[in-house]
Amino acid sequence: MGLPPHSDHGLLTLLIQNQIGGLQVQHKGKWVNIDPIPNSFLTNIGDHIEILSNGKYKSVLHRAVVNNRDVRISIAVPHGPALDAIVSPDSKLVENVGNPPAYGAMKYKEYLELQQGTMLNGKSCLERIRNRV
Ligand SMILES: O=C(O)CCC(=O)C(=O)O
Ligand SMILES: [Fe+2]
């Protein structure tokens, strides 16, 4: 099963996969293959690290592609804040360094609802709260 382009909600996603590649990350407008590293977890930064860090750490746009030769198995384990936690750019990364907050504050649960109601294509959900302060 493939997955269309998206960024992950939450803080970190741990990805366990077999040796068949399929994960691709968008870099400078191009899709780049991420080859699996044996016996390892791949860690992906989620939207809420991007929000918390006020954009310093990016939640990368990625997708999963399939092929008609080999069976690819991947298990993604998302990690997020408490559902009722309100996530916004950390004040230490905003006022102290003169960066205006680039994302609005939002309950994690409300973000999940917003994302579920948004087409899973691109970073549309994160874009919707960018500069909404
Ligand atoms: O299967 C993969 O490599 C990616 C899975 C993924 O991006 C996700 O579950 O959010
Ligand atoms: Fe993902």
Q: What is the pLDDT of residue 33?
A: 97
Of the candidates 133, 2, 132, the one whose C-alpha atom is nearest the C-alpha of residue 65 is 2
Residue with CA nearest ligand 1 atom 4: 64
91-107 mean pLDDT: 83
**Ligand 1 site residues, Cβ closer than 6 angstroms:** 3, 8, 13, 15, 17, 22-23, 62, 64, 74, 76
B/e letters for 50-61, b = 16+ CB within 10 Å, e = fewer, are: bbbbbbeeebbb
Question: What is the value of pTM for the model shown?
Answer: 0.90
Ligand 1 center–CA 119 separation, angstroms = 16
Domains of the chain: residue spans and CATH: 3-128 (2.60.120.330)
50 membership: H or E segment, kind and range: helix 47-52
Ligand 2 center–CA 90 separation, angstroms = 24
d(CA 5, CA 19): 21
ipTM confidence: 0.97
The 10s digit of each residue's pLDDT in 46-89 is 999 999 999 999 999 999 998 899 999 999 999 999 999 999 99
